[in-house]
Amino acid sequence: MAANPGHAVTDTATSPGATGPPGTASGRAGSSGSAARAAAQSAAAPAMSDGWQQALDELADDLRRRAVARHTVRAYRLDCTQLAHWATGKHVEPANVELRTLRRYLAALSEQGQAATTVARKLAAIRALFRVQVAAGRRPDNPAELLSAPKRPQRLPQVLRPGDVAALLDRIPVTTPLEQRDRALFELAYAAGLRAEELVSLEIGAVDFDAETVRVDGKGGKTRLVPVGEHALARLASYLERGRPALLTSADGRVAETALFLSKSGRRLSTSDVRRRLRTWVRAVPGGAAGLAGTHPHALRHSFATHLLEGGADLRAIQELLGHATISTTQVYTRVDSTRLRSAYSRAHPRA
């Protein structure tokens, strides 16, 4: 179990420019390099006031009550810790933060070269911080609600071609327990469109072989049932029969692990383990498969959704399978599909 996320990153950032976790708050956790840079900078930071420390603790407690993912709690707290150090240096307490205070802070972030996506992520965390302060009766309003997030560049998600997905998955042998685990892991990731966090949180009883489904605990504690194809089911059955028992014995008789996917030491995998193993197998594909360059676990999820859409699946059905709260999040895949259609049209039509 990870350390208490409400206290894991206290006093680890000093300025608006301190680097936080990459990606969005609902997305990836911070890298060890970012944490190290933030920790190194904290030595020169003014001591955080008790008011800011209390506000950060209350934010973490609120997020945990809402069943927010642990890595998201850490990311939000780290982003708000950076604001707390900046504000402490200017003798501003949480109750005294005004709209112009936050404008100055965001301006400082931009001046230091922070990307629009990073600033938007930090603003989302700050909104959550002051939402909790309002709910606790510590201030009458949320000044962050009056700020608009900077416009983010419209980047399409990385989508693999079906042939590249097949080349990647078929390249993973099934000789050793770790290979059997990896094949089952990535077959399931593509077959059900699961996030890396969802994969590592699966319990051993999550797969129903009779119903051909997997029970997934998604964001916000929401559970969904997702169909699983025969290829993934076959690899999962093989892993459960031979691979997982072999990995479980490496736990040296310690408390039995209930996770579906185990590490070589018999413990639950981490998301960093998933990313590392995927990079290993991408490099193993003959010729490097240009279409696989830079592939990350979420690319398998993107590919799952896009290939379903290209095959005629309804957008609402894809939304449910992915566990998206709103259809607008799923609509990004329609842009991917239309981009491919335009490209095909340009190549094939004689008067394009």
333 is catalytic: yes
Domains and CATH numbers, the chain: 32-146 (1.10.150.130), 162-348 (1.10.443.10)
> What is the Cα–Cα distance from 273 to 185, expressed in whole angstroms?
11
Residue 349 has a pLDDT of 53
| CA gap 253, 53 in Å, rounded | 41
* Angle at CA of residue 147, ends 141 and 152, nearest 5°: 145
Those residues whose C-beta lies under 8 Å from the C-beta of residue 214, and which sit 6 or more positions away, are: 188, 192, 194, 202, 206, 207, 208, 225, 226, 228
* Catalytic residue from among 195, 235, 244, 302: 195
pLDDT tens digit string along 211-224?
Answer: 999 999 887 778 89
**219 tagged catalytic:** yes
CB 147 within 8 A of CB 106: yes
pLDDT-based confidence at residue 332 (cuts at 50, 70, 90) = confident
Nearest-angstrom CA–CA distance, 114 and 111: 7
Q: How much is the average pLDDT of 324-345?
A: 67
b or e along 297-329 (b: 16 or more beta carbons within 10 Å of the residue's beta carbon)?
A: bbbbbbbbbbbbbeeeeeeeebbebbbbeeeee
Report pLDDT digits (tens) over 222-239. 889 999 999 999 999 999
Q: Is the pTM of this model over 0.75?
A: no
Q: Are 194 and 188 in contact (CB under 8 A)?
A: yes
| 4-18, 178-192, 210-224, 272-286: least confident range | 4-18
Q: Would you state the structure tokens that stand for residue 219, as one six-digit string?
A: 């964001």
Give the active site residue among 219, 268, 275, 340: 219
SS3 label, residue 226:
strand
User: Rounded CA gap, 104 and 54, in Å?
Assistant: 23
- Torsion-angle region of residue 305: left (phi > 0), alpha (psi -120 to 50) or beta? alpha
Check: CB of residue 244 under 8 Å from CB of residue 181.
yes
Candidate ranges 44-53, 192-201, 289-298, 337-346; pick with highest mean pLDDT: 192-201
**What confidence score (pLDDT) does residue 154 get?**
61
Handedness of CA 165, 168, 171, 174 (dihedral sign): negative
Q: Which of 28, 71, 277, 301 is catalytic?
A: 301
Selected catalytic residue, list 131, 279, 324, 340: 324
**Is pLDDT of 49 > 70?**
yes
Task: Take residue 66 and report the two structure tokens written for it.
Answer: 């809402």
Tokens of 161: 């071609």
335 classed as catalytic:
no
Q: Any catalytic annotation for residue 296?
A: no
The neighbouring-strand residues paired with 223 are 217
Q: How many residues does the chain have?
A: 352
CB of 97 within 8 A of CB of 143? yes
- Both structure tokens of 113: 């070269």
Catalytic annotation present for 301: yes
User: Taking 70 as the threshold, does the pLDDT of residue 27 lie above it?
Assistant: no
What would the pLDDT profile of 89-111 be if each residue is shown by its tens digit?
A: 999 999 999 999 999 999 999 88
Q: Could you tell me which of 182, 235, 179, 183 has the C-alpha nearest to residue 207?
A: 235
- Which amino acid makes up residue 167? A
Give the HSE-up count for residue 161: Cα atoms under 13 Å, Cβ half-sphere.
9
- Identify whether 324 is a catalytic site residue: yes
